[in-house]
């Protein structure tokens, strides 16, 4: 599946919080810190850039998918 080229960090954070149950903990500079407790505790930093670089987006989506035990396509379909 092709990664979106025009996705902002804020949009990604909103979708991860709404659909996947992440919680926005705080922001340090231009990085938003998200945390989830299901299935295990996991923190990830998302840059608040517009748009996100493709490699950065791929890394974030890969980390979220691996932590949840789903495919990257499942995460991308919900964004």
- Give me the pLDDT at residue 1, please: 76
Residue 36 resides in a domain? yes
Tally of domains within the chain: 1
- Per-block mean pLDDT, blocks of 10 residues, the chain (79 long): 91 94 93 90 94 95 93 90
Give the tokens for residue 51.
């748009």
Side-chain half-sphere of 63: how many Cα atoms within 13 Å? 16
- Give me the pLDDT at residue 37, please: 87
Residue 58 resides in a domain? yes
- Give me the pLDDT at residue 47, please: 97
Residue 72 resides in a domain? yes
Residue 4 resides in a domain? no
- Give me the pLDDT at residue 2, please: 87
Residue 9 resides in a domain? no
């Amino acid at each position: 599946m092709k990664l979106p080229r025009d996705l902002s960090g804020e949009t990604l954070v909103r979708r991860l919080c709404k659909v996947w149950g992440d919680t926005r903990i705080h922001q340090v500079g231009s990085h938003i810190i998200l945390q989830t407790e299901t299935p295990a505790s996991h923190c990830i930093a998302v840059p608040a850039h517009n748009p996100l670089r493709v490699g950065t987006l791929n890394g974030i989506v890969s980390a979220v998918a691996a932590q949840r035990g789903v495919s990257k396509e499942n995460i991308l379909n919900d964004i």
